[in-house]
């Protein structure tokens, strides 16, 4: 396990200078007992950045939230601030940035090639999450959960979780979450946590689109977040990507892609502002994986060739429902 003590010490010593605050969120007590969810905020210059952290250890949840807030501050002015990660050790940050890139590539490839996922059972979750408690929460709130495995790579498994409401609610679409880990059960836990932390406020009425969010530009992942909550997004998912619904077999063989195929660069934008930076922030790219895209998708030759390699056939470049990675 990584040593977050340097981050904890930095936050304690710089709380006033960066206006650092931590908020404990209570929703998780009912859904995932034994886990902690914290929101961290910090201010650099005139701008405030927020991060979330969830973990079975309360101090680690706080540190994860602080690390994510620092990451968002570091990439805020980058033209393409995706596939990044913050971690106490550089190698750990590099691996997590690579895994985020893999997640984005998997989602876009499955979506645009219309290749179904592999359906997983609730029992796929690791022991840290109680399937019984989760099932009771889903039934009580009228939520439907779909747990799926995407096409793996040589050194990682990707799992997606989708939740929608089976009751009449204002939101007709769905919410998603993703996990990319070495083991499927760990990826499943990550995906469910990421999905639940958004689904609960979305479907229980605490998260309502503000006008600025509805008008946000198509190149912003938040646009995908709101578009996924439309009926069309859920229909596309059910009819094209869920094996249990559309009846086609998914592509299951792992692609021969690994961390060795990634180009990893350190993000240094905060080094002058925070000389004693308590985490390393890395960004990943790869000629073998799709470049993260949001909004209007540029289906150039490289993009289409990647889809062909992933699927084994020539994809049809057509306008579809927006992909659901945000």
- Provide the CB-side half-sphere exposure for 275 (13 A, CA): 0
**Given this model, what pLDDT does residue 322 score?**
80
Nearest to 265 by CA among 101, 126, 29, 55: 101
Q: Is the dihedral of CA 74, 77, 80, 81 positive or negative?
A: positive
**Given this model, what pLDDT does residue 296 score?**
76
State the Cα–Cα distance between residues 230 and 235, nearest whole angstrom. 9
**Given this model, what pLDDT does residue 318 score?**
66
Residue 126 buriedness (CB in 10 A; 0-12 / 13-18 / 19+): middle
Enumerate residue ranges in the chain where pLDDT < 70: 1, 205-226, 244-252, 317-319
3-state secondary structure of 147: strand
State the Cα–Cα distance between residues 174 and 155, nearest whole angstrom. 29
**Given this model, what pLDDT does residue 17 score?**
95
**Given this model, what pLDDT does residue 249 score?**
59
**Given this model, what pLDDT does residue 262 score?**
98
> Residue 194: what are its φ and ψ, rounded to 5°?
-60, -40
Residue 192 near residue 147 (C-beta atoms within 8 A): yes
State how far Cα 255 lies from the chain centre. 21
Residue 166 near residue 226 (C-beta atoms within 8 A): no
State the Cα–Cα distance between residues 23 and 38, nearest whole angstrom. 5
Angle at 304 between CA 302 and CA 306, to 5 degrees: 70
Q: Write down the H helix ranges in the chain.
A: 5-14, 28-31, 58-75, 90-113, 131-141, 184-203, 211-214, 221-227, 231-240, 243-246, 301-311
**Given this model, what pLDDT does residue 93 score?**
98
> Residue 11: what are its φ and ψ, rounded to 5°?
-60, -40
pLDDT tens-digit readout, 27-39: 999 999 999 999 9
**Given this model, what pLDDT does residue 264 score?**
98
pLDDT tens-digit readout, 103-117: 999 999 999 999 999
**Given this model, what pLDDT does residue 6 score?**
85
218: left (phi over 0), alpha (psi -120 to 50) or beta: alpha
């Amino acid at each position: 396990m990584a040593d977050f003590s340097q981050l904890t010490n930095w936050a304690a010593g710089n709380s006033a200078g960066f206006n650092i605050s931590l908020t404990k969120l209570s929703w998780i007590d009912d859904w995932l007992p034994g886990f902690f969810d914290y929101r961290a905020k910090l201010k650099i210059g005139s701008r405030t950045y927020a991060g979330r952290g969830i973990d079975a250890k309360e101090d680690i949840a706080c540190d994860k939230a602080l690390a994510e807030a620092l990451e968002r501050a570091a990439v805020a002015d980058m033209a393409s601030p995706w596939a990044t990660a913050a971690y106490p050790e550089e190698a750990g940050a590099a691996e997590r940035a690579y895994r985020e890139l893999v997640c984005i590539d998997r989602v876009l490839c499955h979506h645009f090639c219309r290749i179904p996922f592999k359906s997983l059972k609730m029992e796929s979750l690791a022991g840290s999450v109680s399937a019984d408690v989760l099932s009771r929460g889903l039934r009580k709130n009228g939520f439907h959960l779909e747990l799926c495995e995407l096409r793996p790579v040589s050194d990682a498994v990707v799992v997606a979780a989708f939740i929608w409401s089976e009751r009449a609610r204002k939101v007709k679409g769905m919410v998603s979450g993703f996990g990319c880990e070495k083991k499927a059960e760990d990826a499943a836990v990550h995906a469910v946590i990421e999905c639940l932390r958004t689904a609960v406020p979305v479907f229980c009425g605490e998260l309502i689109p503000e006008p600025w969010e509805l008008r946000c530009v198509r190149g912003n992942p938040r646009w995908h977040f709101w578009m996924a909550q439309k009926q069309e997004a859920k229909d596309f998912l059910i009819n094209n990507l869920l094996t249990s619904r559309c009846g086609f077999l998914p592509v299951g063989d792992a692609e021969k892609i690994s961390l060795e195929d990634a180009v990893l660069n350190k993000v240094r934008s905060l080094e002058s502002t925070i000389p004693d930076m308590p985490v390393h922030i890395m960004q990943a790219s790869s000629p073998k994986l799709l470049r993260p895209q949001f909004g209007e998708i540029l289906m150039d030759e490289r993009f289409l060739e990647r889809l062909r390699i992933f699927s084994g056939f020539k994809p049809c470049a057509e306008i579809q429902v927006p992909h659901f990675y945000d």
